[in-house]
Structure 1
Amino acid sequence: MTEEIEEIRRQKLEELRSRDERGSANASEPRSPTEPVPVDGDAELSETVAEHDVVLVDFYADWCGPCQMLEPVVETVAAETDAAVAKVDIDANQSLAAEYSVRGVPTLLLFADGQPVERLVGMQEEARLRSLIERHG
């Protein structure tokens, strides 16, 4: 079941990227996705961070209660702000979590212009995330 969901996510991501490329052909920069984008591995994270000015990365685990509570917040942030939201499953991406010193979940990293600028651990309010995105956007 989980593999099927991941495959659907990958297909949706490809559709969004191809639609975004067509839609932004005349624009100076790509639009941010309106849904959180699952990221698998360092290459995908690097690509996502390089493609967007502001990226909120949600390091999470399926078994984590606070991560599940944060899910609707990051979905709203993805839909209603200019930031791209990337989701990294720490169980499937242990080396990536270690690379960014993720010791607990949820951990949110905010990247601006390709660099990590903010780190938040634990449940966060939507208003705080919006404020950080606006400050760095």
Structure 2
Amino acid sequence: MATDTASDAGTATANEPLHVDGQSQLDDIVAENDVVLVDFYADWCGPCQMLEPTVETLAAETDATVAKVDVDANQQLAAAYGVQGVPTLILFADGEQAEQVVGLQGEDQLRALIETHSE
């Protein structure tokens, strides 16, 4: 995995997933971007690890801003969105929660979901 020091400055480019730590940071990302796909994951979760390349591809190739939330480090944030299992993906469009999908999803399904709200 490439180490990119640009993300350390707090201004990560939109073509890589942003790692979220806390509600206020997530609120800012949702407020500043039209379409945001949030991946609630855990390091110990096998399906989450399988989903990671897909999430990175979507961040690079779609208009959506992709954010990742470690549910172990952000239990209150996960609870606030009703995350029961991981991976859970929540799509925000125009600042509102639009979709929520649980479990390993295919790239095509997620791309279609993003494109539905990117119009």
TM-score with structure 2 length normalisation? Answer: 0.91
| Mapped pair 1:70 → 2:44 | no
Match of residue 14 from structure 1: 9
CA distance in 2, matches of 1:15, 1:78: 17
Determine the C-alpha separation between the residues in 2 that align with 1:135 and 1:116.
14
Maintained 8 Å contact 1:108/1:120: yes
Q: Percent identity?
A: 63
After superposition, what is the alpha-carbon deviation per residue over 1:62-91, rounded to whole angstroms, capped at 9, x for unaligned?
000000000000000000000000000000
Give the SS at the match of 1:120.
strand
Which residue of structure 1 lines up, in the alignment, with residue 72 of structure 2?
Answer: 91
- 2:37 aligns to what? 56
Flag the structure with higher helix content: 1
Matched ranges for 1:19-34 at <5 A? 33-34=14-15
User: Do the aligned partners of residues 104 and 15 (structure 1) sit closer, same or farther apart at CA in structure 2, a change above 3 Å counting?
Assistant: closer
Runs of 4+ more than 3 Å apart:
8-11
Structure 1 or 2, whichever has the larger Rg, is: 1
For residues 40 and 5 of structure 2, the distance between their equivalents in structure 1, rounded to whole angstroms, comes to 18
Are 1:55 and 1:112, in contact at CA under 8 Å, matched by a contact in 2?
Answer: yes
CA contact (8 A) 1:56 1:108 kept: yes
Select 1:41's aligned residue among 15, 18, 22: 22
Gaps of 5+ in 2: none
- Root-mean-square deviation (CA), in Å? 1.8
Find the counterpart in structure 2 of residue 26 from structure 1: none
- Displacement of 1:9 after TM fit? 7.6
Instruction: Indicate how the Cα distance of structure 1 residues 96 and 127 shifts in structure 2: closer, same or farther if over 3 A, else same.
Output: same
Count of matched residue positions in the alignment of Structure 1 and Structure 2 = 116
2:86 corresponds to which letter in structure 1? V
What is the match of residue 103 of structure 1?
A: 84
Q: Which amino acid aligns with 1:69?
A: M
Give the AA of the match of 1:109. I
Unaligned runs of 5+ in 1: 1-7, 21-32
Q: Offset of 1:16 from its aligned partner? A: 3.3
